[in-house]
């Protein structure tokens, strides 16, 4: 179960009532107030509340917390998904819906700069340093929910990454073409290669998101495994991580957890050619 109050905490049902009551007791005098419109309890991803399946004590505690801190069950209980640091967490339908929403926002932003800015150099700069980063944080979740459709060993192709690639290619083509002759909207492969080559190597440094997806997923996950194996963040703090956080990651080589299985699947074909941290 996840409690969201503009920050996110994973709390067991046995601690839920105590935590929120204590949070209110200590927070109110300091101006840290739990507002119903900002407090949600994420209990399920299948659209069905687990309330009736819980032991009576947990049922009472969950009902109390939803009514007291979240504006009631209908408003405060999340049953399909939510966002943490901008990334959608939930079932596949929820994740896909949020991805499509983000893609539409990207299209709208591109249309806006075309309408407002006439200088191609400024338009390209805004896209490179702002808009093309707009969906990068969604790659990790996309890879958890979708299998690779690419036959290239270092590319990860899904409907989401294919759409972003298509949008980027269309942007480059429109930017570099004669506005009176846009019949052919296909960007040649050699032009795409030049566009996605780093600036230091003579390219334009546009993102090939299908090529970046693997690194975006594998590198931070490798760091996480390394931290969890050692049970503390020795470089930053002396705090020891609890066992329930570290146990699954310690056994990452044999774990059946979907996200860890995905990591093993990716690294087996990718780690030989990449500077992934050793785990």
Distance CA 227, CA 277 (A): 11
| Arithmetic mean of pLDDT, 207-235 | 78
Residues 130-168, buried b or exposed e (16+ Cβ, 10 A)?
ebbebbeebbbbbbebbebeeeeeebbbbebbebbbebb
Whether residue 2 is predicted with pLDDT greater than 80 in this model: the reply is: no
Domain ranges within the chain, ordered by starting residue: 2-79, 83-279
| Arithmetic mean of pLDDT, 154-166 | 90
Neighbours of 214 (CB within 10 A): 23
Average per-residue pLDDT for the chain: 83
- Per-residue model confidence (pLDDT) at position 95: 92
- What three-state secondary structure class fits 136? helix
- Per-residue model confidence (pLDDT) at position 214: 83
- Per-residue model confidence (pLDDT) at position 184: 52
| Arithmetic mean of pLDDT, 185-211 | 87
Length of the chain in terms of residues written: 279
Residue 2 vs residue 230, higher pLDDT: 230
- Per-residue model confidence (pLDDT) at position 264: 83
Residue 72 vs residue 274, higher pLDDT: 72
Residue 175 vs residue 241, higher pLDDT: 175
Over residues 32-80, the pLDDT tens digits come to 888 888 889 999 988 899 999 999 999 999 999 999 999 998 889 999 9
Whether residue 4 is predicted with pLDDT greater than 50 in this model: the reply is: yes
Residue 247 vs residue 22, higher pLDDT: 22
Whether residue 151 is predicted with pLDDT greater than 50 in this model: the reply is: yes
| Arithmetic mean of pLDDT, 118-130 | 92
- Per-residue model confidence (pLDDT) at position 180: 53
Whether residue 246 is predicted with pLDDT greater than 80 in this model: the reply is: no
**What is the reported pTM?**
0.77
Distance CA 91, CA 33 (A): 30
DSSP secondary structure string for all residues of 82-120:
EEETTEEEE-HHHHHHHHHHHHHHHHHHHHHHHHH---H
């Amino acid at each position: 179960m996840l409690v969201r109050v503009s920050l996110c905490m994973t709390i067991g049902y046995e601690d839920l009532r105590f935590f929120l009551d204590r949070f209110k007791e200590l927070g109110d005098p300091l101006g840290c107030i739990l507002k119903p419109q900002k407090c949600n309890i994420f209990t399920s991803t299948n659209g069905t509340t687990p309330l009736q399946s819980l032991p009576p004590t947990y049922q009472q505690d969950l009902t109390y917390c939803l009514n007291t801190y979240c504006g009631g069950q209908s408003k405060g209980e999340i049953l399909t998904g939510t966002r943490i640091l901008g990334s959608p967490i939930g079932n596949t339908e929820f994740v896909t819906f949020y991805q499509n929403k983000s893609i539409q926002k990207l299209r709208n932003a591109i249309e806006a700069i075309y309408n407002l800015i006439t200088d191609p150099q400024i338009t390209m700069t805004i896209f490179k340093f702002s808009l093309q980063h707009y969906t990068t944080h969604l790659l990790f979740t996309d890879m958890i929910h979708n299998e690779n459709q690419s036959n290239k060993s270092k590319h990860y192709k899904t409907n989401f990454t294919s759409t972003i690639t298509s949008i980027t290619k269309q942007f480059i083509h429109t930017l570099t073409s004669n506005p009176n002759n846009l019949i052919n909207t296909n960007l040649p492969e050699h032009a795409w290669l030049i566009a996605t080559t780093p600036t230091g190597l003579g390219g334009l440094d546009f993102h090939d998101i299908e090529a970046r997806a693997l690194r975006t997923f594998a590198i931070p996950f490798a760091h996480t495994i390394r931290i969890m194996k050692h049970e503390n963040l020795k470089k930053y703090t002396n705090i020891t991580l609890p066992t329930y956080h570290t146990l699954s990651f310690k056994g990452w080589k044999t774990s059946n957890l979907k996200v860890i299985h995905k990591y093993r699947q990716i690294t087996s074909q990718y780690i030989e050619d990449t500077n992934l941290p050793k785990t």
